[in-house]
Amino acid sequence: MRVDYQYFLEATVRAAIAAAKSRGKGDSKASDAAAVDEMRAYLNGLSFRSRVIIGEGVRDNAPMLFRGEVLGIDEGELCCDVAVDPLECTDCCAGNKNGAISVVAVSDIGGLLEADDVYMYKIVYAVNDAIPHEVDADTSLEDILSIVATSKGKKISELCVCILNRKRHHGIIKLLREMDVTVSLIDDGDVLASIMAVMPDFDIDIYVGVGGAPEGVISAAAIKGLGGVMHAKMLHDISSETEIDKALLKQYRNMTLSDLSKDESAVFIATGITDNAMMKGVIFEGENVITESIVIEVATSKMMKIQIKKRAK
């Protein structure tokens, strides 16, 4: 990638600090707006320009950086595409619950899918061996569970599948429990949950379900960098209450990880706002503020954890 990721690390750090100032105050929109404003102001001051190809917020009428918005000084060169969510898990920040992050995926121009703020069905997992046959988002969940279990030397009943606790997932959850799979229900935060599904440090074997397409594209850069597998379908015309089943999913086009994130130099960056399984939240310590971030580079397949201490404004 032509641009140093440190610029975008600074963007998530600043947005995280801005949001954390209203952490636990119960106003998710105010926290989101603070994060958005801080990220926009910082990126607008850079000497190069970035194009926003995903700006989360349309589905829930939240403050956002707009798709197609170009940030940076006017005479600067257009260098990269960015997919952003300055405050992922707004309710977690408002309630001071675990899971709120500020997150960016950045690539060369055209390196990430330009996705509308609609829903996406996704299945994410890691395997230790080559997949024995062609698998996509139309492959039955039973078959994918069997593939993952065989690869990891586990029984299907020993697998843990993570899914958002939503009414639309009732059928999937019922199927998983009928197969005696451990089901880990989460209220929010499918970006981190899907990444954890491809990391050996966590007990999640598969992430499945319908969440936001923006979150799907953002997490795809990290999943690619960590060598994971992701199958997806963009669901352009469903509501949050639409029950998900095989017949519905068959109507939509299969997408691969490379469709979502094709740039081999893309970078995923997240900074904790509240504590979560992968990083600590923002800590205000006297005149200082401490942040913890993760950076995942596709080119090197490397994940770094970075702690930054700076003077509080």
Q: How confident is the model at residue 56 (pLDDT cuts 50, 70, 90)?
A: low
189 assigned binding-site residue: yes
212 assigned binding-site residue: yes
Q: Cβ(293)–Cβ(8) under 8 Å?
A: no
Q: Tens digit of pLDDT for each residue in 6-38?
A: 999 999 999 999 999 999 999 999 999 999 999
Structural tokens at position 153:
């030397």
Same domain, 81 and 125: no
60 assigned binding-site residue: no
| pLDDT greater than 80 at residue 311 | yes
81 assigned binding-site residue: no
88 assigned binding-site residue: yes
Domain boundary pick from 229, 245, 260: 260
CB environment 213-240: b (16+ within 10 A), e (fewer): bbbbbbbbbbbbbbebbbbbbbbeebee
**197: which residues sit within 8 A by CB, 6+ positions away?**
124, 125, 126, 162, 204, 205, 206, 207, 228
Same domain, 274 and 222: no
Write the Ramachandran bin of 189: left for phi over 0, alpha for psi from -120 to 50, otherwise beta.
left
DSSP assignment letter at 167? G
At 299 the pLDDT is 96
Same domain, 160 and 225: yes
How many separate domains does the chain show? 2
Same domain, 256 and 273: no
Same domain, 256 and 282: no
Q: How confident is the model at residue 225 (pLDDT cuts 50, 70, 90)?
A: very high
167 assigned binding-site residue: yes
Domain boundary pick from 260, 277, 302: 260
190 assigned binding-site residue: yes
Write the Ramachandran bin of 227: left for phi over 0, alpha for psi from -120 to 50, otherwise beta.
left
Same domain, 81 and 41: yes
Q: Cβ(197)–Cβ(125) under 8 Å?
A: yes
7 assigned binding-site residue: no
Same domain, 255 and 271: no
Q: Which of 194, 189, 160 is nearest to 92 (CA)?
A: 189
Q: Cβ(265)–Cβ(107) under 8 Å?
A: yes
Domain boundary pick from 243, 260, 277: 260
209 assigned binding-site residue: no
| pLDDT greater than 60 at residue 58 | no
Amino acid of residue 245 = D
CATH number reported for the structural domain that contains residue 93 in this entry: 3.30.540.10
Same domain, 269 and 248: no
The model's pTM is 0.94
Same domain, 151 and 250: yes
Q: Tens digit of pLDDT for each residue in 148-177?
A: 999 999 999 999 999 999 999 999 999 999
**174: which residues sit within 8 A by CB, 6+ positions away?**
none
Residue 160 to residue 75: CA distance in whole angstroms: 51
DSSP bridge partners of 52: 82
Q: Tens digit of pLDDT for each residue in 255-269?
A: 999 999 999 999 999
Same domain, 126 and 161: yes
Write the Ramachandran bin of 114: left for phi over 0, alpha for psi from -120 to 50, otherwise beta.
beta
Structural tokens at position 1:
């990638």
User: Which residue segment(s) compose the domain that 99 sits in?
Assistant: 5-111+265-311
99 assigned binding-site residue: no
Q: Tens digit of pLDDT for each residue in 112-140?
A: 999 888 899 999 999 987 776 789 999 99
Same domain, 124 and 254: yes
Across 241-263, average pLDDT: 91
Ordered DSSP codes for 27-85: -HHHHHHHHHHHHHHHHHTSSSEEEEEEE--TTTT---PPTT-EES-TTS-EEEEEEEE
Across 66-73, average pLDDT: 90
Same domain, 90 and 217: no
CATH number reported for the structural domain that contains residue 207 in this entry: 3.40.190.90
Query: In 3-state terms, what secondary structure has residue 168?
Result: helix
Amino acid of residue 148 = V
Q: Tens digit of pLDDT for each residue in 186-220?
A: 999 999 999 999 999 999 999 999 999 999 999 99
> Cα 92 from chain centroid?
15
